[in-house]
Structure formats: structure tokens, C-alpha cells
Structure 1
Amino acid sequence: MEFITAAFVGLLGILIYLLIKYPDRSIGTKPRTDLNGPKGYPLIGNILDIYKDNKGLLMFMCETLTKYGPNATFTLPGLGRVVTINNPECIEHVLKTNFENYYKSPALYSIVYDVFGDGIFNSNGNAWRMQRKLSSHLFNGRNFRNIFCVVFEEETKIVLNTLDKLARTGETFDLQDLFFRITFGLDFNCLKNLKDPVKFATSFDFAQRVMNDRVENPFWKITELFTEKGHKMRKACDYLSTFAYDIIKNHRNNPEALKDPRDILNIFMNAQHDNGEKLTDKELRDVVINFIIAGRDTTAQTLSWMMYNLMVNPSAEEQLIKEVNSLLTSENTISNYENIKLFQYTQAVFHETLRLHPIVPKSLRICLKDDVLPNGVPIYAGEMVNWSSWSMGRDERIWGNDARQFNPKRFLNSEDGLKPSQYKFISFHAGPRICLGQNFATVEAIMLATAVLKQFKFEMVPGQKCPPDYARSLTLPMKDPLLVKVHHRQY
């Protein structure tokens, strides 16, 4: 009995000590009285602020930015001290000037590892450099003309045929789901019946939601052991891995595919490490999964938000259609790589969509050594820096008083032009890790959008929320279906 009493008193003493040491921040973090930010709770920091009103981490970040400015701070269990760097100068410092000092943290690596493995989005150092070097070979001009643009044109024709059938029947359908089905770059055979779920898509989207939830739950490794969500996550990850390994296996067993110089997977299957060894099946599996999210989510989600914005901004749609009709004819209904640059207003609509609806809405890095940002704010080793492209796109200090309005002309009339500073327009990331596929995504989206909008007009089904809520995920899909009807455009 005396032992139990002593143990209880000891534990109580430790708890009191910790409550005194961490009165408004998560355990293990140092105070930052030099920075403003929302006051946290003892030991757990600001984790409850994320769950308040079911707002989630992204909305919490945006509210913190709006209230406390571009350099604010908060603490979260598992992540520790987080300092926001939502201004172009600080972002350039972290992503370019002192690039080697800011890594993807072990905590975030663990959160997404069972899906992304050691792929390009989850790796650091030499592993990242090797994949970056290999990936860069994919996006040269020759590959664009001989491989990607051919695929884009084939995909666009499939979409046009599908929309023609839907226009004839007059049925209501989910436009976002349609875009997800035709932008995989792989044959899922999923356009035959739009009402049939695609197992890969449902597994992949579920896994992304769970990984996002893990960022907000420091105890996810424990809770997922005993919850239905954890069980479903393990099944989803097993399926995704099996799917990727089957692609690799089928490729190896197809001599004709192995000879095809246009085949993207061949580039990685024939690649070698510095020691001369080829990539293992595990490394190829990570490549497949990482490239699927890069090719699928970027285009499908951007097109969904783009079409929504045009439907609710008829003057923007009218101007875009005017440009499309001046550049495409009834004989040449699909643009090509050479004339994409002529669609300047369409590109402005594309960029404005990404400004307000960036596919990767939030990012985190860990500081390896003590550092000082350009504005004099110190970042200490072990602290996290955070920026949110979604929040920055709504920041009047960066984009002016109309920051929250959809205004494509801002890209036509700005000094930056159609390609603004990558540290201001952060939708494609920036610095050495800038998205290699940004030209890929731009060409694909504009080629498809211009061909579709020349022939068809979308009509939103009444009663839907405007603007749509985003789903809480690693990327930024719409939470609910984007229900529309499609009509043949009348001239």
C-alpha cells in the first residue's frame, strides 16, 4: 500500500511539474515568446483547436495566418513546435536558399510511408536526388511530343465521346468522378459504367484521407490497431501494393512492352544506382504509386475546380469560349503542344483555379540546424516550418483586396505574367523540389478543357453548396459530388 501511495504521489508530482513547464504548449517544446500565435493547452498544445467545430488542420492554419500574420506559431503533439512561413521571402529561403537545412520530418515520413514508401514525395537526400534525376528525363520536349501529347489526345477523345453520350441521355452525373476516371494514365476500364466504383480509386482516396487524419492524431499508430478505420487502411494499403506489383510483374512478362522506348516504366526499370544495381521491385512499386498520385489527382482535381469556377462565373466562361473558338475549328477540335501557349486566357483561368484550390494545400518541413529567416525570425533545430498554399491564395497581403475572388485577369495584367513567382504562386511547390510535372499538368488540363468546352456546356444541378467544401485529405478534392448535366454547346 505504501508503494502504491508513493508511486501515486510521484506520478502526481511529475504531472504537476509538466503542467508548470508546459502550461500552454505541447510536451517537449520550447517556448517562443517572440512569436504570436493561438494559445495552446497544457501538454497538448493546439490539438483541440484543430478538432473544434470539426475545422481540421487546413482551416486552423488559415485562421492562424489571418489572425496572427505570416509568421505565427503553434504546437501539436507528435509534430512539436510549428512556425508558419506564409510569405514569399521566407518560402524562398526555406525551399531554395537554405534548401539542405529543411527536410521532410521522420514523423511525416512515417505517416505516409505505407502508401508512398520511399518514393520521390517522401524521400530526402540521395534517394530523392536519384529519383529526381530519373524523373527529369520523362519531361523533356521529345517525350512531350512523342508520348504525353499522344496520350493526352487519346484521353481527350474518350472524354468527348463519354460527354456526348451523357448529353444525349440528359442524365445527371458527378463531374469530379468523371475526371478521376479518365486521368489515371492507366487502363482501369472504368468508363464503361460511371456508377460502378473503381476499387483502386476508392482504396487510394480512403488512404489519403487516413494519412491526413494521422497528421491531426498523434496517437494514430495505437488507435489504428483497434479501429475499423485502421483495419480498412491496412486492407487499402495491401491492395495498392498488390496493384503496383502486378503492374511491374506484367511488364516484366511482356517482351514487347520492355522494348518500347516510349514506355515510362521502362525508364525506371532500366535505371541504375551509382553502384550499377537496378531498382528493386519495392523501389519500382514506390515509383508507380507516387506517379499515380502525381498524374491522377493533379489533373482531375484541378479540372473539377476549374469547371466549377467557370459555371459560377459566366463572364469568365464567355471570355474563355471566345478564345477557344478563335484557336480551334470544327476540323481541329483538340489543341496540340505547339499551340497551347496561345491559350493565354485559358492558362490564366487554370492558374487562378490553382491559386484558390491548390492540389497540395499544406506543407511541413523540419529544421536540421538553427537558422534565421530573411525577416529576422529564428528557426531552431527540431522545429517545424509550415506553409499553406491554400491560405496564401486567400491572403490579401499577397494578392490584394480581391484575394478571395476568382479573377483570372490578375494573371494577364500582373507584372509577373502568366507564370508568377514560384514563391508567391506556390501551387507547384518551388526551389529544387518544384514539381517536375507542372508543364505536364498544364498541357493536359488545357488540352482537355479547351476541347471539352468548345463542344459542351456544363450546368450545375441546383441545391448544391457553393463553393463546395473540400474533403479533408492530403490533396484537395471536393468533399461531395459535383452534380451536373452536360449539353451540346449551341452556336
Structure 2
Amino acid sequence: MTIIITILVGFVGILIYLLIKYPDRSIGTNPRRDLNGPKGLPLFGNLFDVLKHDNNGFVIFLYETLMKYGPNATYTLPGFGRFITVNNPECLEHVMKANFEGYVKGEKLYKILYDLLGDGIFNTSGDNWKMQRKLFSQLFNVRNFREIICVVFEEQTKIFLKIMEKKVNSGEIFDLQELFYRFTLDSFGKIIFGLDFKCLTNTDSPVKFAQSFDFVQGALGKRLQNSFWNITELFTEEGRKLREDCKYLTEFAYQIIENRRKNPETLREATDVLNLFMEAKYDNGENMTDKQLIDVVLNFIIAGRDSTAQTLSWMMYNIMVNPSIEEKLVKEANSLLSDEEPISRYENIKQFQYTHATLYETLRLHPTVPNNFRVCLKDDVLPNGIPIYAGEMVNWSSWAAGRDERTWGKDAKIFNPERFLNSEDGLKPSPYKFTSFNCGPRICLGQNFATTEAIMLATAVLRQYKFEMVPGQKLPPDFGVSLTLPMKNPLLVKVYHR
């Protein structure tokens, strides 16, 4: 009994000590009285501020923090430590360019994303990242765009148009976001694997690969709000399914790689991304291992399949609720396309200026990757004099920054493509202001890829068909918990001839 009492007294003493030491921040963090930010709870910091939102609480929390406390604010989360926001162009340029080597992804984020992204380009830093980026940059050349990528985009757009014709004739209500996902997965299956997932040819059948990929993304997105994910996932059904689906995705990619290695003739003849990477060599002359190829493939899919489908979904939503914008888009499509040439080609994509502006405005308000994080390696000072200490995390929210009136003006929350056409910055402003394609040395290599795919499909479809949202849906749509920014619920529409 005496021993039990002694243990209890000791425990209470330690708890009191910790409560005094960390009165308004998460355990293990140092105070930052020099910065503003939402006051946290003892030991837990701002964890419950994130969890109080029903939907993707982290995105909303960062937006509220930016609006109330300014571009540079601080907060703490157990398991992650102290965060300092850099939601203004000057500070972000310093972190992502001027002192690029001083800020890295960090071990915590690496572990959160490893089950899906492995050691792929989006989850690594240093030499491994540099080597992969060099290989990726070789992929996106004009020849590959014309001979591989745009050929597939045109084929898939023709199939999409045929589906629209069937939808018009049947008068059915359908989920437009789901159809965009099918379009991009079919496109990526052919571009990456030389494989037809048959998503568009069997629109009523579920696609196991897509279901697993979406579930894994959602589960990993939740890890950002759960400091104890590595423990809780051991005992939950979601954790079991996450491990099962990650295994399936890995084995799926591995099987394709193995089959191609067993058939050298197929390897020589294949004209897809996997073939390009299997033949590519690092600076030391070595080829990629199967594990590295799997990581490349899964990173590539999350970059292309998800980003373009989600952007098209948000873009179509904004077009449907803004008839004047739709009218201008249709006018531009009619002026550049015809019955003889109903789909734009790579050579004339740049002529669709208003469509480009509408796409960028969509990405400004609905960026594919809403949040980003880096860890400071050694003590640093931001351009505005704010110190960042080694081990602290900096983060920025493209979703929040796109709505910041200090950066975008009084109409920051209004969907207005003209801001890109009339801007002194040109059609697309500085990437440290418009961060939807990331910035600095990590700026998205595939932005031309995504832009081309989205504009080819959008212009061809809008020229011939008009979409109407089914009444009764929540506006604006909620976004789901994920690593990216999908709509939480189906985007239900009907489609008509123009």
C-alpha cells in the first residue's frame, strides 16, 4: 500500500511539474513569447483546436490561424512539436529557395507518408530527391509530350465525350468527380504502365486499384491529425485495412514491373513512363531497383491522377455556379476548336488564355496540396527578422493563403479568373504567391502535364455540353480528409447538349 501511494504521489508530482512547465503548449516544446498564435492547452497544445472541426480540421485550423494572427503565427501539436507559419511570399521564398538546404521534409512527415510514398520524390530530401528529380525532368520533354502523353490524353478525351453523349441521351444524374477520377486513372494507367484500367469503358464497375488508393490517402491524411497513429492503427479496423491496401498497391505495381523484366521484348517496345524509368540510369550508372520503381510509380499517380481529377471537379463546380464565366469559356473554345478539330492539340494549348486563367483561379482557391511542412535543420532568421530554431517546423497553407486579402486583395475569396489576365504579374504570378504548384527547387515538374490534360478535356467538353448541378447539394462542397483536396461528397450533375 505504501508503495502504491508513493507511486501515485510521484505521478501526481510529475504531472504538476509538466503542467507548470507546459501551461499552454504541447509537451516537449519551448515557449515562443515573441510570436502570436492560438493559445493551447497544457501538454496537448492546439490538438483539440484541430480536432473540433468535423471535416478536414487541419486545413480549417490553419486558415483561422492565418486570418486571426497574421502570416507568421505559431502553434504546437503533441508528437510534432512547434510550428511557425510562413504564409507570406517573402518568408516562403526564403524557406523554399534562399535557404532551401536548411529546411527538409523531416522524419515525422516521412514516416506518416512512407506506407504509400516510400522513398519517392514527394517524401524524400537530399541526394535521393535530386536524383529522382533529374530523371523526372528528362521525362517531361517535348518529344514525350507529343508521342506518349498527348496521344493518350486525346484518346481518353474522345472516350469521355462518347460517355457524355450517352449521359445526355439517358438523362441520368451522375457523379462528375467520380468520372474525372476514372478519366485520369485510365490516362495514367496507359501513360505509366501501358495498361488500360477500363475505368471509362466500365463506368458502373468499381476499380479496386482506385478504391485502395483513395482509402490509403484518406487514412494517411488522418495521421496528420493523430499524433499517436502508429499505436492506434494497430488496434483499429482502419489500420488493418490500411496495411492490406498498401500491400495490394505495392504488389500491383511490382507485378507489372516483374512481368516486364521477364519479357525483354516488351521492355524494348513499351512506350510508357515505366519503360523510361526502367531504362534510365543514375549518375553512378546504376538502374533503379524494383522498390525504387514502385515508389516512383505511386508518387507519380498521386501527382497526376488525383491532382487533375480534383482540379477539374472544383473547376466545373465554379463554372456551374458562375454562368458569366462559363459563357466566356465556351466562347473561347468555339473560337479555337471546330467540328473537324474538336480536341485541342499540344501546339495550341497556350492559346486558351481564359481557360488557363480559370484553371489557375481554381487552383488558387482549391490547391491540390492544401498544406506543406518543413523542419528547420539549424537556427535561421526569416527576412522579417523572426528567428526559427533548429527542430522547429515551418508550414504554409496554400488553401489559406489563396484566401488572404493581404496577398490577393479584397476579393480574395471570390472566384474571378480575370485576376490572372489583368495582373501585372502576368497570367501566372510568382510561385511564392501562387503556391499551388509548389515553389523553389521543388516546384512541380508536372505542372505543364496537368495543365495540358485539364485544358484538353475541359475545352472539348464545354464546347459541346452544358452541366447543371442537381439541387439540394451543399454549396460550396466540403472537402474530404486526404493528402490532397478531393470533394467529400459526389458532385451530382446532369448534362445537356449546347
Q: Do Structure 1 and Structure 2 share a fold, with TM-score over 0.5? A: yes
CA contact 2:467–2:493 (8 Å) conserved in 1? yes
1:80 match: 81
Unaligned runs of 5+ in 2: 190-195
2:7 match: 7
Shift of 1:227: 0.7
Which secondary structure does the structure 2 equivalent of 1:339 belong to?
helix
1:228 match: 237
2:69 match: 68
1:26 match: 26
Which secondary structure does the structure 2 equivalent of 1:363 belong to?
strand
Listed as ranges, the matches of 1:192-341 within 5 Å are 192-260=201-269, 262-341=271-350
Task: Single out whichever of 371-380 and 270-279 deviates more from structure 2.
Answer: 270-279
Shift of 1:434: 0.4
1:432 match: 441
Query: Is 1:158 the counterpart of 2:166 in the alignment?
Result: no
Q: Deviations over 1:414-460 (max 9, x none)?
A: 00111211000000000000000000111111011101111111111
2:101 match: 100
Partner of residue 384 from structure 1, selected from 375, 393, 405: 393
Query: Is 1:454 the counterpart of 2:455 in the alignment?
Result: no
CA contact 2:45–2:75 (8 Å) conserved in 1? yes
2:180 match: 179
2:149 match: 148
Which secondary structure does the structure 1 equivalent of 2:224 belong to?
helix
Shift of 1:235: 1.1
2:51 match: 51
Shift of 1:244: 1.1
CA contact 1:134–1:267 (8 Å) conserved in 2? no
Report % sequence identity. 69
Shift of 1:260: 3.3
Tell me the amino acid that sits aligned with residue 136 of structure 1.
S
Tell me the amino acid that sits aligned with residue 7 of structure 2.
A
Taking a change above 3 Å as real, the CA distance of residues 261 and 97 of structure 1, as seen in their structure-2 partners, is farther
Q: Deviations over 1:49-96 (max 9, x none)?
A: 111142511100000000000000000011100000000011100110
Shift of 1:4: 2.2
Unaligned runs of 5+ in 1: none
Q: Deviations over 1:373-399 (max 9, x none)?
A: 111111100000010000011100010
Shift of 1:261: 6.7
Q: Which aligned segments of 4 or more residues in structure 1 are displaced greater than 6 angstroms? A: none
Work out the CA distance in 2 between the residues paired with 1:203 and 1:261. Answer: 26
Shift of 1:26: 0.4
2:171 match: 170
Which secondary structure does the structure 2 equivalent of 1:330 belong to?
coil
Query: Is 1:367 the counterpart of 2:376 in the alignment?
Result: yes
Tell me the amino acid that sits aligned with residue 389 of structure 1.
S
Q: Deviations over 1:200-221 (max 9, x none)?
A: 1111111111111111111111
1:126 match: 127
RMSD: 1.1
Shift of 1:143: 1.3
Q: How many residues align?
A: 489
Work out the CA distance in 2 between the residues paired with 1:273 and 1:160. Answer: 41
Work out the CA distance in 2 between the residues paired with 1:419 and 1:114. Answer: 34
Q: Deviations over 1:236-293 (max 9, x none)?
A: 1111111111221232234343113732112211223344332111111101111111
Partner of residue 393 from structure 1, selected from 397, 402, 406: 402
Tell me the amino acid that sits aligned with residue 343 of structure 1.
F
